[in-house]
Structure 1
């Protein structure tokens, strides 16, 4: 018996444990919201392993540039100023002010003290005499009655606005920008719930890139490229040809007075089953005349990104001039 147990133990030692291989060497998140067809948003590349930080940065950036487009670039919240200025005079021992300034400050202080003395005497007279005699004296009110009215913004009580904001934050469908799991390392997708009259993903991204190119202001640590996505569908030639028809008619109308030069950019991640050239040719053929292909100097670039089984399509302007929409390159100091 002892020999048999020993032999079994030796056999178990010789066996190797099976390793569990997880995507990107990380555990799979349960309950995550995957990228799916029929959404609009932003395709964002970042440093590998920094997807969570890049997601937070991207949502903050998109909120900022969305507000600039809607409310204007110079929209700044008004600061509340105190109703009564402070009359305190602060003197420093090391100050080199002239004697005339000191005398004027002393005179102003004496005048304030005199005014306060007159007010206190008037108050004492009001307390000692009858109410009928005090009507002619100008007495200051020492206590103010509390205001019972609720503070209102745009005709709505502030507490109702706070409740609505909290409810909106708790519901993903009501948030303006939410993240979806792309399933690819170094890729972040931010979905945009577009409302009527709001600027689209293309307008927001182009405003962001032009602002970055003009100011050269550092905006993020982890984000690389930010590309607008206006069409998402399954990654097949037939599905892509059907899904991009409204997009092509919007940016490349048949009855255009000035023909547009365009190029097609194709990139694929975590998908080796789809061929590159058939997709590029089908997208290029869907653009009607008089628009023509120009790979060197295009007016517009049709960007086709494939992430696993999902295809994402968007149209941008000045793609090469704006450093291929790379925020890090646009905001880096020039050599």
Structure 2
């Protein structure tokens, strides 16, 4: 028995793990939900959160690219199809520098025409009384002919040698030029000449693999049927409200199915702790953007509140805190609001965003907007 107990204690000691001293251990996986983020609040079918996150990132990224580059940048298939003729045009194009068979035939025709002209001239000379022998060049002797042939042979050998040397030089020159061009390209790509191409590729791969530098990433909520996508905005990027508005309007106009698991997609422009004081403090820049004091006409608004995994906060206190932050020139209209303030409480974090045409666009539900039953 003592031996068995010793063996068990030895195995337990081997399996036991120790934490590092005075260092926090971070678990692998998506970042937890915390205040200060911007992005998208998405609902989906229960148990489909993993599929919905991948689908949401793809859909949001597509509409983000549309807002930046626009739809006009795409190629118009109608114009290109109309510009192409239905039947092929069999036209023969001749170039002045081409060595085609057509040019050879033209040369042969020119030679035949020249011979005919020469024969006509000789016939005219004979008719005029002049003989061909009078106009012919005096014959050369055999020695002179041999000298001329030897000179021609020597000249041909020199020309052939010069052509061979020239071809070798021409073959060598492009290699040197290509090497120079390649080095220039590498120098232009490399900001520092010391870094090699392999190091640059490794740096780019690290940037792509670094989750902290991605524009869209997943946030761990811990709630069933809820997905939150964080957006890291850069200079010139549209805010989440513009992206969601463009998504819903295009879905309502085209009725094209773009998702399988997504239900409601709402923007998150401000996030803070779910308390009255924090909400009043965090909502100020959002009120200045959408509800200015010096507006030409009063804006009708409503507050849409939902809470998940939090039962300790009173609903009316949060709604009153949001409504009292809006200037008095604007009015509350629950039936036909121009703008709706979305307030989503998830655990201890409050997510706030502003949308337009909330009821007209089926409460921003993609499945209802793209279904054939909706008018």
Give TM-score, length-normalised by structure 1: 0.69
Tell me the residue number matched to 2:322: 283
2:269 maps to 1:230: yes
Which residue of 1 is the match for residue 258 of structure 2?
219
Q: Secondary structure at the match of 2:59?
A: helix
- Name 2:35's counterpart in structure 1: 37
- 1:215-262 per-residue CA deviation (whole Å, 9 max, x = no partner) reads 111101101111000111111122112111111111111111121100
Alignment of 1:145-184 (within 5 A): 147-148=178-179, 149=181, 156=189, 165-184=204-223
Shift of 1:334: 3.5
Q: What does residue 109 of structure 1 align with?
A: none
Q: Which residue of 2 aligns with 1:310?
A: 349
Distance change in 2, residues 1:169/1:292 (3 Å) = same
2:283 counterpart of 1:253: no
Q: How many Å apart are 1:167 and its aligned residue?
A: 2.6
Equivalent residue for 1:130, pick from 138, 160, 185: 160
Higher helix share: 2
Aligned length: 269
Q: 1:66 to 1:114 in 2, by over 3 A?
A: same
Structure 1 unpaired stretches of 5+: 1-28, 79-96, 106-111, 119-128, 135-140
d(CA) in 1 for partners of 2:72 and 2:290? 30
- Deviation string 1:83-121 (CA, Å, 9 cap, x unpaired) is xxxxxxxxxxxxxx9xxx9xx79xxxxxx9846999xxx
Structure 2 vs 1, CA of residues 287 and 147 (structure 1 numbering), >3 Å: closer, same or farther? Answer: same
What is the CA-CA distance between 1:77 and the residue it aligns to? 8.4
Q: Distance in 2 between matches of 1:247 and 1:147?
A: 57
Q: Distance in 2 between matches of 1:116 and 1:56?
A: 63
TM-score, reference length from structure 2: 0.62
Would you say 1:240 and 2:279 are equivalent positions? yes
Question: What CA RMSD, in Å, does the superposition of the two structures yield over aligned residues?
Answer: 3.8
- Cα distance 1:239–1:217, how it changes in 2: closer, same or farther (>3 A)? same
Q: 2-side partners of 1:161 and 1:44: how far apart?
A: 37
Q: How far has the Cα of 1:197 moved from its partner?
A: 1.6
Give the corresponding residue for 2:142: none
Could you tell me how far 1:133 is from its partner in structure 2? 8.4
Q: Give the distance between the partners of 2:238 and 2:200, measured in 1 at CA.
A: 24
For residue 156 of structure 2, what is the aligned residue in structure 1? none
Which structure would you say has the larger Rg? 2
